[in-house]
Amino acid sequence: MEGIYQKLRNLDAYPKINEDFYSRTLSGGLITLISSIIMLFLFFSEFSLYLHAVTETKLLVDTTRGQTLRINFDITFPAIRCSLLSVDAIDISGEQHHDIRHDITKKRINAHGDVIEVRQDGIGAPKIDKPLQKHGGRLEHNEEYCGSCFGAEMSDDHCCNSCDEVREAYRKKGWALTNMDLIDQCIREGFVQMIKDEEGEGCNINGSLEVNRVAGNFHFVPGKSFHQSNFQLLDLLDMQKESYNISHRINRLAFGDYFPGVVNPLDGIQLMHETQNGVQQFFIKVVPTIYTDIRGRTVHSNQYSVTEHFTKSELMRLDSLPGVYFIYDFSPIKVTFKEEHTSFLHFMTSICAIIGGIFTIAGIVDSFIYHGRRAIKKKMEIGKFS
């Protein structure tokens, strides 16, 4: 056994030195103190990084399909009244939604930006259930009311019981409804008076759209738009010749849910146009994004980049409508963010590297200073140092 112990002693890479042979110096003490402080600083820095999550980013080809996209928006138009502001959405698959109202809130604002009224259901007044006439005649006993569409009926039993239904019937026919004062339903609902009361007001519109996950556009235009013969037209009541100031402020525009670190480049921008009529276009490239936090919760969302273009009224095409258009397309590349902690083995490796590296460098510096001082002192003793 003694022979085995001796062989193990011969493998000792850390031979011990008798304390009688130690020589402690002031410079060695200062170097030890400084190196210890550096070690502690780097240790706590590495430890704080170990406690905090790091985000790993990857780029992948997007292979998802058949999903929908939620667009969240909050936009203020200081010079367009709420009664004339409508939202449309169109995509390349052919699906079209005009004058969208669900999940949208409109706020009437005055010239100072103060909120006058909040409308949850968008444009229009409450529906009148029981006016006085049926297609110009009197109601018979126990007969349900059926309002006239004023010549725009699609069939004999087609009823228009509200001002909006009359306007919708005219739109489907492709007719212009130019005199609202002759429509009984609009008179009863006070629709014309409501528009006159909003003279000089602006509108804040906010909400969300659920669209197909294909290229398309959504836009905000003054007036109720509708579709006929592949061209969009506007029902602008008696105001067809009025020009519209499409100045606006985008308070928020996001494609999908929020996740930490997301940046929406259009948030907070304000575009004021001296030209009344015009088309403001935003060309948006949507980048699908998946964010996974440290707890494993995953958020499927999107980032986007954008460029913009404004066309003045005199340069507009005949089929272009004044308004703000957001034309979006999807990137084929998907970005994934994943939060994770640094592994414990990596943390221990870094600590060992810090301690060993600083200890070694401090030893080299101390040895250089010690032997340098000894060489200088020896030369001074023999008179060769000058």
* pLDDT class of 226 with cuts at 50, 70, 90: very low
Task: Give the model confidence (pLDDT) of 238-263 as tens digits.
Answer: 444 356 788 899 999 999 999 988 99
pLDDT of 279 over the 70 cut: yes
Query: Half-sphere exposure of 121 toward its Cβ, with a 13 Å CA cutoff?
Result: 5
Between these two residues, 68 and 376, which has the higher pLDDT value?
68
Both 143 and 223 in a single domain? no
Asked whether residue 324 is domain-assigned, the answer is yes
Helix (H, G, I), strand (E, B) or coil at 365: helix
Dihedral of the alpha carbons of 109, 114, 116, 117, in degrees to the nearest 10: 80
Pick the residue with more confidence: 53 or 283? 283
With H, G, I as helix, E, B as strand and everything else as coil, classify residue 97.
strand
Q: Are residues 308 and 261 in the same domain?
A: yes
| 373/376 Cα distance (integer angstroms) | 5
Question: What residues are paired with 32 via a beta bridge?
Answer: none
Q: Which of 166, 189, 212 is the last residue of a domain?
A: 189
Q: Is 12 within a domain? A: no
pLDDT tens track for 29-69: 888 889 889 999 999 998 888 888 788 899 999 988 878 89
pTM of the predicted protein model = 0.68
Any residues with CB less than 8 A from the CB of 347 and at least 6 apart, and which?
46, 47, 50
Predicted pLDDT at 142? 44
326-370, pLDDT tens digit by residue?
999 999 999 999 988 778 888 899 999 999 999 889 888 888 888
Residues 6-29, buried b or exposed e (16+ Cβ, 10 A)?
A: eeeeeeeeeeeeeeeeeeeeeebe
Q: What is the pLDDT of residues 286-332, one digit of tens each?
A: 999 999 988 889 999 999 999 999 888 765 555 567 889 999 999 99
Q: Average pLDDT of 174-203?
A: 75
**pLDDT surpassing 60 at residue 122:** no
Is residue 170 over pLDDT 90?
A: no
Same domain, 217 and 104: yes
Q: What domain range is 206 assigned to?
A: 61-125+190-339
pLDDT of residue 275: 54
Q: Tell me the pLDDT band of 19, cut-offs 50, 70 and 90.
A: low
- Write down the pLDDT at residue 197: 74
Residue-wise pLDDT for 94-114, tens only, equals 888 877 888 899 999 988 888
% residues pLDDT > 70 (the chain) = 78
Contacts of 227 (CB under 8 A, 6+ apart): 96, 98
Quick check: 108 and 198 in contact, CB under 8 A?
yes
Residues 258 and 315 in one domain: yes
133 SS3 class: coil
Residue 283 and residue 316 in contact, taking contact as beta carbons nearer than 8 Å: no
155 and 88 inside one domain: no
Q: Are residues 258 and 369 both part of a single domain?
A: no
Contacts of 352 (CB under 8 A, 6+ apart): none
pLDDT value at residue 13:
64
Residue showing tokens 């550096």? 38
Q: List the alpha helices (DSSP H) in the chain.
A: 2-10, 26-51, 163-173, 184-189, 191-197, 344-381
DSSP strand pairing (85-91 vs 96-97): antiparallel
Domain for residue 11, yes or no? no
